[in-house]
Amino acid sequence: MKTSANGSATAGSLAPETARQAFLLLRTVFTVAPILFGLDKFLNLLTDWTLYLAPVVTSVVPVSGQNIMSAVGVIEILAGLLVAYRPRIGSLVVAGWLLGIIINLLILGSFYDVALRDFGLLVGALALNRLATAAGK
């Protein structure tokens, strides 16, 4: 690491390492979280996931809410794995998925706090995409 005359690290020498650390942190989170939440769609240990499903979804798709959430779980697991192996593509899939979740929550007309949190996650997924693009991953 380069240091200036007064002994502090220069910004240019930290930027690549800082970007690499941010990339690894975001990639890890956007790999592990979707996989864990996807698995929980089958177990319902964290919550009853069907409470977050807008009724219009079950009226359009002729299967039970739990079956829909099981399909959601599979998609989330696959999205997490895609982030692990192809973060540039996987991050966009996760961002799109989060946008779908936000729209579902807004249609539901409640859980606005969760929708806002998911918007923050969507921005994080887009940041991962930019870091992955810069790193050529």
* Three-state secondary structure call for residue 9: strand
* pTM to 2 decimal places: 0.84
Q: Is 50 exposed, middle or buried (0-12, 13-18, 19+ CB in 10 A)?
A: middle
pLDDT for 5 = 54
Phi–psi pair at 9, nearest 5 degrees: -70, 140
What's the pLDDT score for residue 12?
53
Q: How far is CA 107 from CA 38, 45, 76, 79, 103, in A?
A: 22, 25, 21, 23, 6
pLDDT at 58: 87
Give residue 1's pLDDT. Answer: 45
Residue 71 Cα distances to 21, 25, 61, angstroms:
33, 27, 12
DSSP 8: P
Q: Where are the alpha helices (DSSP H) in 8-86?
A: 11-43, 55-60, 65-85
Tokens (6 digits) for 104:
């579902």
Pick out the chain residues at pLDDT < 50: 1, 7-8, 13
23 contacts 128 by C-beta, under 8 angstroms = yes
Which secondary-structure segment (H or E) carries 112? helix 112-135
